[in-house]
């Protein structure tokens, strides 16, 4: 299976206008962030993935991928990785067929065990803030020490450094450096500034 992008921060991007996709990834890259998850939450999402992937400034993934058929759509649009809110073996298998890296969401030890049995090395822990955050990740990492986690949900500038300092956290997912309101306003200078500030919080 393909590998996830080697980026400590993977922004969750919701784009209402595909025309903003290239400027968005340019702002992220200028701030030092080299991966982005564009969520399938708007009618323009697939076109945004296509434009951002074609630009090549960052590694482009597709988020909120729930159905196996969506995997084909985002793969055809140029996405290189897939993020799901939950664990779906058919989605995982379809990503393997299409050569995409996959980051399924887990919330319980049972789902983590499914992911391990499916041969995955990294999972999304979602919604992290509602599930106990870093303390729960540490508890899950004890029996599943070979697995890495990407917390999503409630991750912010206030806790990103603490998350990334844990040896079982591969990266974090969040939207604070590129919130939907800034993208609607096309305030890409603010996205670049917030991205740079976020990267400065990454433990060295």
Known active-site residue 37: yes
Residues 76-112 pLDDT 10s: 999 999 999 999 999 999 999 999 999 999 999 999 9
So what's the pLDDT on residue 204?
87
Known active-site residue 124: yes
So what's the pLDDT on residue 1?
63
Average pLDDT over residues 120-132: 98
Helix, strand, coil % (nearest 5) of the chain? Answer: 45, 20, 40
Catalytic residue among 124, 146, 162, 192: 124
Find residue 174's DSSP bridge partners.
Answer: 11
Measured CA to CA in angstroms, residue 165 lies from 41, 106, 160, 161, 202 at distances of 31, 21, 9, 6, 8
pTM of the predicted model as reported, rounded to 2 decimal places: 0.97
Structural domains of the chain, ranges and CATH numbers in brackets? 9-197 (3.20.20.70)
Average pLDDT over residues 27-49: 98
């Amino acid at each position: 299976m393909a590998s996830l992008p080697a980026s400590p921060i993977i922004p969750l991007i919701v784009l209402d206008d595909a025309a903003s996709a290239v400027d968005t990834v340019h702002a992220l890259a200028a701030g030092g962030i080299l991966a982005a998850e564009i969520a399938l939450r708007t009618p323009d999402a697939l076109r945004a993935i296509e434009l951002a992937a074609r630009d090549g400034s960052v590694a482009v993934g597709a988020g909120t991928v729930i159905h196996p058929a969506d995997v084909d759509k985002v793969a055809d649009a140029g996405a290189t990785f897939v993020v799901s809110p939950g664990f779906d073996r058919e989605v995982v298998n379809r990503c393997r067929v299409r050569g995409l890296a996959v980051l399924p969401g887990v919330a319980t030890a049972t789902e983590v065990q499914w992911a391990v049995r499916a041969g995955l090395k990294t999972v999304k822990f979602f919604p992290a803030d509602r599930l106990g955050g870093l303390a729960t990740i540490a508890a899950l990492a004890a029996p599943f020490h070979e697995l890495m986690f990407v917390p999503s949900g409630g991750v912010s500038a206030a806790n990103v450094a603490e998350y990334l300092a844990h040896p079982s956290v591969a990266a974090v997912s969040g939207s604070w450096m590129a919130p939907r309101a800034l993208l609607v306003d096309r305030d890409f200078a603010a996205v670049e500034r917030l991205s740079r500030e976020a990267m400065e919080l990454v433990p060295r």
